[in-house]
Structure 1
Amino acid sequence: MSETETSETTSNTANLVALDPDGYAPVNHPGVTVPEDRRCWSVSWPEYTPTDITPPELRPSALAAHVPAWAEAAPTPAEVHDWRRRRAAALVPFKLDERGWPLHPHGRTGRTGRNLGKWGENQAADPIVAAGNSEQRWVLLITRDDIGTEAIPGGMVDPGETAPAALVRELREETGVDLADHRPTILGRDVVADWRQTDHAWITSTSALYQLPARVTAIAADDALDATWWPFDSLDQLDTAVTAAGRTLYAAHRPLLQRALDHLNQP
């Protein structure tokens, strides 16, 4: 056995320790390690055994008894029959494997199963609200009630809803700030490195920047524990302020916040 094979076996064995009797890992399990040269789906890796992080309420036996309001009923992607429509509507193009299962656009994640509402792409909307000017700028963040970190107020796009409508709705629901009469700048439509992503279910986000002349009153609601204006002249400044308050900045939103800063700092 080669050194590489030994390392992979050790990694996979370590991951198995955390599995429950049915073979599922905790939903926050990091999964097996995926070397960069094996991340691409076109690279053959017959020994690849990703860790299943499906939570109890989305496992086949649970779905047969009750389907959560936020989730689709399909226990596996094989029971989804509208992949042509989903692929056509996707923010980020993705492929299907030989079984007809959706493949994460960025390659192997080390994890399988589903810890999101749908198989394949799950669209989210992330409104970034900045206030002030170049002399003193602020950004509005919420404290998420699921993982307790400081994050952009946002969430999943509802069935039949557009991303622009979701931006306004999520901001209003989580902070009480209504910017329906403002036109934001769309910063991007990207795959988000969300902690729930797997090989077959992931999040893409429409991120948009709202610019206000001054801070407005924000009150946490819905799934936000708090809504706070933070200094936002740079990502380092934001990090320092959040850390000093004993909080943590949600890692998946760092690239989105940096993109907003890049736009705001354009000459």
Structure 2
Amino acid sequence: MSEYTPTDITPPELQPSALANHVPAWAEAAPTPTDVHDWAERQAAALVPFELDGRGWPLNPQGRTGRTGRNLGKWGENAAADPIVVAGSGQERWVLLITRDDIGVEAIPGGMTDPGETAPQTLARELREETGVDLADYHPIILGRDLVDDWRNSDEAWVASTSALYLLPAIVTATAADDALDANWYPFGTLTELDDAITLTGRTLYAAHRPLLQRALDYLDN
């Protein structure tokens, strides 16, 4: 059996030597999972259940990723929220997407949950911050709580998201801000139609969000 040798993806600012001098505002101070002391609470609050290994380190629920270390704010689960905003109906159905500033692809507006924040609060805040669309008074339809195939995931740190559907009667004005380079409405009859529309702009759809968007389509078409 070949030896498992995952690649450490910890960026310089999260290396133990760097954390000893400065902790980024978006990250916890623990240099390793051993330095985290509330694993029971984190497991109880997790969107997707996870276990600890013999060292007391978190185990990615999807298994080995080929990556180790941390390129996220927390060890273990990093909770996020993804608001899927759909306007119109039938053949005139549109979905609101942003162009992410980190990897330059079209994606659902969303982001990490702040400490003490509920999923509905994160959904509304991230949508407002990234598109200027304020739906705080709307009641979203929760579609699921799932692991996200995020490019920063590792064996010991990963993203899990609450995805929710907002239904609007018509398109509203959206303006990119915060982590978004652009914000646009795309036709949303099928995933293929969405892919084709995005391709015409010279962009691509964020692969990790495809299952979430398909779930929204399945809900709308049932």
1:141 aligned onto 2:136: no
Q: What pairs with 1:1-267 in structure 2 (closer than 5 Å)?
A: 47-266=3-222
Query: How far apart are residue 220 of structure 1 and its match?
Result: 0.5
Query: How far apart are residue 48 of structure 1 and its match?
Result: 1.1
**Inter-partner Cα distance in structure 2 for 1:79 and 1:213:** 49
AA aligned opposite 2:6: P
Query: How far apart are residue 163 of structure 1 and its match?
Result: 0.6
Alignment gaps of 5+ in structure 1: 9-46
TM-score normalised by L of structure 2? 0.99
**Inter-partner Cα distance in structure 2 for 1:78 and 1:102:** 10
AA aligned opposite 1:205: S
Query: How far apart are residue 49 of structure 1 and its match?
Result: 1.3
SS in 1 for 2:94: strand
**Inter-partner Cα distance in structure 2 for 1:135 and 1:252:** 25
**Inter-partner Cα distance in structure 2 for 1:174 and 1:82:** 32
SS in 1 for 2:115: coil
AA aligned opposite 1:163: A
C-alpha distance after superposition, 1:199-219 (max 9, x if no partner): 000000000000101000000
Say which structure is richer in strand.
2
AA aligned opposite 2:174: A
Alignment gaps of 5+ in structure 2: none
Structure showing greater Rg: 1
AA aligned opposite 1:201: A
**Inter-partner Cα distance in structure 2 for 1:253 and 1:213:** 23
AA aligned opposite 1:147: I
Query: How far apart are residue 180 of structure 1 and its match?
Result: 1.0
Aligned residues: 222
> What is the aligned-residue RMSD (CA, Å)?
0.8
**Inter-partner Cα distance in structure 2 for 1:219 and 1:138:** 16
C-alpha distance after superposition, 1:103-130 (max 9, x if no partner): 0001111110000000000000000000
Query: How far apart are residue 135 of structure 1 and its match?
Result: 2.1
**Inter-partner Cα distance in structure 1 for 2:12 and 2:192:** 38
**Inter-partner Cα distance in structure 1 for 2:163 and 2:47:** 12
**Inter-partner Cα distance in structure 2 for 1:64 and 1:236:** 48
**Inter-partner Cα distance in structure 2 for 1:134 and 1:181:** 25
Query: How far apart are residue 90 of structure 1 and its match?
Result: 0.5
**Inter-partner Cα distance in structure 2 for 1:237 and 1:265:** 15
